[in-house]
Amino acid sequence: MADKKNRTTIYQVAKEANVSLATVSRVINGKGNVNEETAKLVRDAIDKLGYIPSVLARGLATSYTTNIGIVLPSPNYVYINNIMAGMMDVCKIYGYSPLIFTFEDVEDAARAVDSVLASRVEGIVVFNSQLTSSDVAKFTKISLPVVIIGKDKLSIKNGLVDVDYVSELKRFINEEIKGGIKDIYFLKDPKKDWHMTNGYEEAIVSCVEKSKINLHIIEIADSYNVIYDYFKEKFSNQKPNHELYIATRDSLGTAVVNAGLDLGYSVPMDYEVMGIISTKNSIMSRPQMSSINVDLYEVGSIAMRMLTKMLTSIVNKKEFIFTTNYIKKETTKF
- Report the amino acid identity of residue 69: G
Region 256-273: mean pLDDT is 97
pLDDT digits (tens, 9 = 90+) for 11-35: 788 889 998 877 887 888 777 788 9
Q: Is residue 75 part of a domain?
A: yes
Q: Is residue 334 part of a domain?
A: no
Expressed as residue numbers, the domain containing 122 is 67-163+296-325
Q: Enumerate long-range contacts of 29-32, CB under 8 Å, 24 or more apart.
A: 29/57, 29/58, 29/61, 29/62, 31/61, 31/62, 32/61
Looking at residue 12, its pLDDT comes to 84
My answer on whether 99 and 80 are in the same domain is yes
Looking at residue 4, its pLDDT comes to 44
Q: Is the pLDDT of residue 305 over 50?
A: yes
Average pLDDT of the chain? 89
Asked which of 203-207, 208-212, 235-239 is least confident by mean pLDDT, the reply is: 208-212
Asked which of 140-144, 194-198, 243-247 is least confident by mean pLDDT, the reply is: 140-144
Looking at residue 154, its pLDDT comes to 53
Contacts of residue 4, defined as CB under 8 A and 6 or more positions apart, other chains included, come to none
| DSSP helix/strand/coil, 132 | coil
Last residue of a domain, one of 17, 45, 62: 62
Alpha helices in the chain (DSSP H): 10-17, 21-29, 36-49, 55-62, 78-94, 106-118, 133-137, 166-178, 194-208, 224-237, 250-261, 281-284, 296-311
Looking at residue 268, its pLDDT comes to 97
Distance (Å, rounded) from C-alpha 316 to C-alpha 304?
A: 15
Region 217-223: mean pLDDT is 96
My answer on whether 310 and 275 are in the same domain is no
Last residue of a domain, one of 14, 36, 62: 62
Looking at residue 133, its pLDDT comes to 85
My answer on whether 88 and 131 are in the same domain is yes
Dihedral, 266, 268, 273, 279 alpha carbons, nearest 10: 100
Q: Is the pLDDT of residue 277 over 60?
A: yes
CA 199, 205, 208, 213 torsion: positive or negative? Answer: positive
CA 66, 72, 77, 79 torsion: positive or negative? Answer: negative
Of 25, 33, 28, nearest in space to 61 by CA: 25
Residue 73 sits in a domain of what CATH number? Answer: 3.40.50.2300
- Report the amino acid identity of residue 226: V
* Phi, psi dihedral angles at 67 (to 5 degrees): -80, 135
My answer on whether 173 and 287 are in the same domain is yes
pLDDT digits (tens, 9 = 90+) for 48-86: 988 876 655 556 566 667 899 999 998 888 999 999 999
My answer on whether 315 and 282 are in the same domain is no
pLDDT digits (tens, 9 = 90+) for 107-164: 888 999 999 988 888 899 999 988 888 888 888 778 889 999 987 555 557 899 999 9
* Burial state string for 291-321 with b = 16 or more CB within 10 A and e = fewer than 16: bbbbebbebbbbbbbbbbbbbeeebeebebe
Region 204-224: mean pLDDT is 94
Within 10 angstroms of residue 191's Cβ, the number of other Cβ atoms is: 14
Can you give the pTM of this predicted structure?
Answer: 0.80
My answer on whether 15 and 32 are in the same domain is yes
Distance (Å, rounded) from C-alpha 39 to C-alpha 26?
A: 9
Distance (Å, rounded) from C-alpha 123 to C-alpha 12?
A: 30
Looking at residue 250, its pLDDT comes to 96
My answer on whether 192 and 282 are in the same domain is yes
Looking at residue 3, its pLDDT comes to 45
DSSP letters along 179-191, please?
TT--EEEEEE-TT
| Percent above pLDDT 70 for the chain | 93
Residue 49 sits in a domain of what CATH number? Answer: 1.10.260.40
Q: Is residue 95 part of a domain?
A: yes
My answer on whether 193 and 282 are in the same domain is yes
Q: Is residue 253 part of a domain?
A: yes
Q: Is the pLDDT of residue 7 over 50?
A: yes
My answer on whether 109 and 56 are in the same domain is no
Dihedral, 250, 103, 81, 155 alpha carbons, nearest 10: 100
In this structure, are strands 319-322 and 159-163 parallel, antiparallel, or unpaired?
Answer: parallel
Region 156-178: mean pLDDT is 93
Looking at residue 227, its pLDDT comes to 98
Region 207-223: mean pLDDT is 94
My answer on whether 76 and 21 are in the same domain is no
Looking at residue 141, its pLDDT comes to 78
Q: Is residue 97 part of a domain?
A: yes
Give the chain's domain count: 3
Q: Is residue 333 part of a domain?
A: no
In this structure, are strands 325-327 and 290-293 parallel, antiparallel, or unpaired?
Answer: antiparallel
My answer on whether 218 and 197 are in the same domain is yes
Looking at residue 1, its pLDDT comes to 38
Q: Is residue 331 part of a domain?
A: no
Looking at residue 104, its pLDDT comes to 87
My answer on whether 88 and 125 are in the same domain is yes
Looking at residue 156, its pLDDT comes to 58
Q: Is residue 11 part of a domain?
A: yes
